[in-house]
Amino acid sequence: LIQLKGIGEYIAAAVYSIAFAGPIAVVDGNVYRVLARFFGIEIPIDSTQGKKIFKAIAQDNLPKNAPAAYNQGIMDFGAMQCTPTLPNCKVCPLIEYCFAANNNKVSSLPVKIKKTKQRERHFSYIYIRCKGKTAIRRRGKGDIWQGLWEFPVKESLENDIKNAILIKSNVKHILTHQIIYADFYLLETNNFPMLPTDYIWIKENEIERYALPRLIELFINYLREK
């Protein structure tokens, strides 16, 4: 069954168990919740380790002579009795043996991996063309792209920004925990702008010698193709 298109482990196990009395435990959200609370399992249910452990526990507790009834029963029990919020534990037939009910952990089980919210940031970069040269600086420690080189930011060129042309706007770049939105300006001038001391001037055609963030590499490629 699992080899059929659109059939995953859950559906395959449910069909095999309920339709053919196959001795395979079904593990869905309801089953995760019942097992986590009853046995007091604090391993995240959405982790690789957690999925293996819950699958093994579900299989170990499956009665081989009535797999369909057990699978249907535990799923219904989780849906109607051991609900995600405010379960009525006082009338639960398993309360005497339930770890969560007897240790005040019903609301904290099951456990899921805490997902870090992606932080949104905005950058405005100025690509300077001045007598065959451009300016870059190396990013410091404690932030993204540590040790990589970047263009001047808008704040470094307040007096010259009025002469810069917006080339690309709101370019989205996704990192693990951050989403970057960048505007890219082009400033063509015959006079070297005043920049903070951490910037250096390099030949435009030598920029590949420097390690750049992927976002900036893509912009350089775009600029050359224009």
Q: Which pLDDT tens digit goes with each residue over 30-87?
A: 999 999 999 999 999 999 999 999 999 999 999 989 889 999 999 999 999 999 999 9
pLDDT at 158 over 70: no
- The answer to whether residue 66 is domain-embedded is yes
Query: Which residue range is the domain that position 31 belongs to?
Result: 9-108
pTM attached to this predicted model: 0.54
In angstroms, the CA 81 to CA 223 distance is 61
Two tokens, residue 117: 């919210």
133 and 184, same domain (yes or no)? yes
CATH number, domain of 55, equals: 1.10.1670.10
Nearest one of 96, 131, 154 to 204, comparing CA atoms: 131
Q: How far is CA 218 from the centre of its chain?
A: 23
Q: Considering 61, 82, 108, which residue would you say is the last residue of a domain? A: 108
| 81 plus 29 within the same structural domain | yes
- Nearest Cα neighbor of 181 from 191, 190, 189, 171 is 171
For residues 54 and 110, give the distance between their C-alpha atoms in angstroms, rounded to a whole number. Answer: 11
- pLDDT at 4 > cutoff 90: no
